[in-house]
Structure 1
Amino acid sequence: MITEEELRKNYETVLNNIRIHAEKVGRNCDEIKLVAVTKTQPIEVLNLALNVGIKVFGENYAQELRDKAKVLQNLGIEWHFIGRIQTNKVKYIVPVAKLIHSVYRLEELEEIDKVAKKLDKTQLVLLEVNVSGEETKAGLQPEQVRNFLIEASKYTNVKIVGLMTMAPYIEPEMTRVYFKKLRALRDELKSDFPDIVELSMGMTNDYTVAVEEGSTIVRIGTALFGERKSKR
């Protein structure tokens, strides 16, 4: 397991990289939120993360999110859900997550809206967009996003606040084209959909490029915690 000292050093390195690459393009690094990807990490590691000042955690599995949030309640943590959504498990996600990153089907929105209504909550979500066109990746095609947003307007307890993508796992510089596409799509939509502000893009492999291309949320696991163990 990673030590607190190692984690602190990794965290400082990532924050420093974000600052350097934000300043390189005239951005303020305070505009960029770091989500620590804690999937499969034990509670002990999340406690170390809290000790070094990390407060925003991203989970990929609904029940793991629910269980960790229960153990770590009242500690000021901001939870994000960043994994595939199964509609029968939305009931575990909505009570906990401030932001859901990975919505791309109307049936997901419908279920999120239904659960949020019961909780008297407005659930913030991002739409996942498959800008690379890879068949193995989920998400809306860029040309589908506008119609999806129009359809989504009927759900009163869901607020779509931005877009998310995953670039192919390639040389970091080669990911730039995909991040540019997502930012251009966001900018194109903003006049008609002013709530579409956030860009969740960039992971350990490519977050510095994503920051240069306008990312407002980066999702970092390996650069903080080291190579993760496989799902239990």
Structure 2
Amino acid sequence: MSDVTARLRALLDRIDTACQDHQRQPGSVTLLAVSKTKPVEAIAAAADAGQKCFGENYVQEAVDKIQQLSDLGLEWHFIGPIQSNKTRLLAEHFDWVQSVDRIKIANRLSEQRPSHITPLNICIQVNISDEPQKAGISLQALPELAKQVSELPNVVLRGVMAIPANVTGFEAQRAQFHRLKLAFEDLKSSYPTIDTLSMGMSGDLEAAVAEGATMVRVGTAIFGARAPRQ
């Protein structure tokens, strides 16, 4: 068994335990393997162990990997900051973009999504901790952006994503996630396509699962320490 396979299995066991501890249905939380800066060999090893969803932060690096691994049938999510001049690559190559935080970007993704492939799945990134250095819109601005995105023709609004402040303690972590959960539930009542609450990483995934996360994003616990970008 490879190191990646062993770590992946341990992480999936951790997610399963969190689901049991918080009365969540088995399999109700999807693992997004954050593979930024990782070589295609490591991604292929995770795919061989059954992992299908991968998250990337750097557009060109990700596109190269998507092309090299195109025969594996993987699902690719973009989770990094979005520059306007990179939206065409996102629209043409990714299955999901989780980091939309302004209508200009959503419009470009919709306009540039090729007509021969399925609509692009979109999550809106929310800055739930109101940290000035982080991307994402405020909770107050979320309803209006959700309305605008939902009206675009070549994208599908699937949910919300957040990277909360790094706080210590299970209850403090839960409190942050709870705010996003409430916003997510409000949106679900208005938009039938919404089903994805993307929150939780290596250090706080138990709290995220407790608060209803449907997707957690984990990299280091699968692939080991982050490699420097070339």
TM-score range, shorter chain: over 0.9
| 2:30 counterpart letter in structure 1 | K
1:164 partnered with 2:161: yes
CA distance in 2, matches of 1:119, 1:86: 24
Cross-structure match for 1:85 = 82
1:58 partnered with 2:43: no
* 4+ residue segments displaced more than 3 Å: 117-121
- Unaligned stretches of 5+ in structure 1? none
CA displacement 1:30-68 (0-9 Å, x = unmatched): 111101111011112112212222221111111111110
Partner of residue 198 from structure 2, selected from 192, 197, 200: 200
Residues paired across the two proteins, number: 229
Partner of residue 217 from structure 2, selected from 216, 219, 225: 219
Q: CA deviation at 1:5?
A: 2.3
Partner of residue 155 from structure 1, selected from 152, 157, 178: 152
SS in 2 for 1:31: coil
- Unaligned stretches of 5+ in structure 2? none
Partner of residue 69 from structure 2, selected from 68, 72, 75: 72
SS in 2 for 1:30: coil
Query: Identical aligned pairs, as a percentage?
Result: 34
8 Å contact from structure 2 (residues 124, 146) kept in 1: no
CA distance in 1, matches of 2:152, 2:174: 33
Q: CA deviation at 1:151?
A: 2.3
1:181 partnered with 2:179: yes
Residues 172 and 126 of structure 1: CA distance in aligned 2, closer, same or farther (over 3 Å): farther
CA RMSD after TM alignment: 1.5
Q: CA deviation at 1:119?
A: 4.5
Cross-structure match for 1:96 = 93
8 Å contact from structure 2 (residues 79, 98) kept in 1: yes
What TM-score, normalized to structure 2? 0.94
Q: CA deviation at 1:230?
A: 2.5
CA displacement 1:109-155 (0-9 Å, x = unmatched): 01100111544541110000111111111111001111112222331
CA displacement 1:196-225 (0-9 Å, x = unmatched): 221000111111211111110111001111
CA distance in 1, matches of 2:117, 2:42: 32
What TM-score, normalized to structure 1? 0.93
